[in-house]
Copies of this chain bind each other. A is one copy, B any other.
Amino acid sequence: MSKKPIGVFDSGIGGLTILKSLRRALPHERLIYFGDTANVPYGGKSKQAVTHLSMAVARFLESRDVKLIVVACNTASAQALGSLRKQLNVPVMGVIEPGAQCAVQSTRNHKIAVLGTQGTVESKAYLKAIQKRAPQTDVFQKACPLFVPLAEEGFANKPAAELIAREYLSPVQKSGADTVILGCTHYPILKDLIVRIMGPQVHLVDSADTLAQAVKLFLQEHHLAATTGKGGLKLYSSDAPKKFTASAQKVLGEQIPQTVLKKLNA
């Protein structure tokens, strides 16, 4: 076992849903979360820019002597995971593989839809991960760029969000997919709305719990899990740490320490 912490990062607050699942699944672990709020959002940036920023965040986490880095952002997982794994000396896990695995196990009609940012959709990371596991699967991808700002501005339950979601999801319904991957850590905030539009027969894959279970398994298999102790949480953000603490408090629903401001060497 290892008492070293686990590093987790996202472009902002989206990855906090994953952090929450990790806290629940791994109560003895010390978690360090980095929200790159100075550079949010990653979703519309080029692969080169996302890779550059992800590397800067990962280097910071590596300097904190973490035993594992969890990329709690679909865009960064889709675009930067390969580079991170090549250049870092700690293992790195992303959200794409566990999400694709869960979707492949869930689908009955071999039709899977992926909702994501522009960057995630253009990378085809989910498409490749699904077809590697189940080559006969039809994969329908749909970029939903307004979902992140709607979620961030608290418009998830307003009629405007429903109009926009109906427009984005109309071709997804026509695709006939019985399984839909919420391929962005913000999208669980719009889950109720997406269920209402897609109907209860469609299975939604939310990567947070799936990833947390994959992390747990990885730590056990590599004898890295912390099995005693009360665990802990440390938060960093690259801009506006007070606002970040408030968001984290809301998502995690537990008493948390103040976020520390840490500018990136990017």
Name A's B-contacting residues (CB within 8 A): 38-40, 44-46, 48-49, 145-146, 148-150, 152-153, 155, 158-161, 163-164, 167, 239-240
Given contacts A38-B45, A45-B239, A45-B240, contact A153 B146 (CB under 8 A): yes
Q: Collect the chain B residues with CB atoms within 8 Å of residue A145's CB.
A: 149, 152-153
> CB < 8 Å: which of B45, B48, B159 contacts A163?
B159
Given contacts A145-B149, A149-B149, contact A49 B163 (CB under 8 A): no
Q: Collect the chain B residues with CB atoms within 8 Å of residue A153's CB.
A: 145-146
Task: Give CA–CA (A89, B118) in the complex, Å.
Answer: 40
Looking at the assembled complex, report how far the CB atom of A34 sits from the nearest CB atom of chain B, in whole angstroms.
16
Q: Collect the chain B residues with CB atoms within 8 Å of residue A152's CB.
A: 145
Asked if B164 and A155 sit within 8 Å, CB to CB, the answer is yes
Task: Give CA–CA (A187, B158) in the complex, Å.
Answer: 22
Chain B, Cβ-Cβ closest to A242: B46
Asked if B146 and A150 sit within 8 Å, CB to CB, the answer is yes
Q: Collect the chain B residues with CB atoms within 8 Å of residue A240's CB.
A: 45-46, 49
Task: Give CA–CA (A241, B240) in the complex, Å.
Answer: 28
> CB < 8 Å: which of B49, B146, B161 contacts A155?
B146
Which of the listed residues A150, A152, A160 has the most CB atoms from chain B within 10 Å of its own CB? A160
Looking at the assembled complex, report how far the CB atom of A259 sits from the nearest CB atom of chain B, in whole angstroms.
13
Task: Give CA–CA (A161, B164) in the complex, Å.
Answer: 9
A-B pairs with beta carbons under 8 Å apart, 30 shown:
A38-B45, A38-B49, A39-B39, A40-B44, A45-B239, A45-B240, A46-B239, A46-B240, A48-B239, A49-B239, A49-B240, A145-B149, A145-B152, A145-B153, A146-B149, A146-B150, A146-B153, A146-B155, A148-B149, A149-B149, A155-B164, A158-B163, A158-B164, A158-B167, A159-B163, A160-B160, A160-B161, A160-B163, A160-B167, A163-B163
Q: Collect the chain B residues with CB atoms within 8 Å of residue A150's CB.
A: 146
7 pairs of A and B residues whose beta carbons are closest in the complex: A160-B163, A149-B149, A160-B160, A160-B164, A46-B240, A49-B239, A46-B239
Q: Collect the chain B residues with CB atoms within 8 Å of residue A167's CB.
A: 158, 160
Q: Collect the chain B residues with CB atoms within 8 Å of residue A146's CB.
A: 149-150, 153, 155
Looking at the assembled complex, report how far the CB atom of A120 sits from the nearest CB atom of chain B, in whole angstroms.
16
Chain B, Cβ-Cβ closest to A159: B163
Q: Collect the chain B residues with CB atoms within 8 Å of residue A164's CB.
A: 155, 158, 160
Q: Collect the chain B residues with CB atoms within 8 Å of residue A44's CB.
A: 40
With A46-B240, A145-B149 already in contact, 5 other A-B pairs whose C-beta atoms are closer than 8 Å: A40-B44, A45-B239, A146-B150, A158-B163, A160-B163
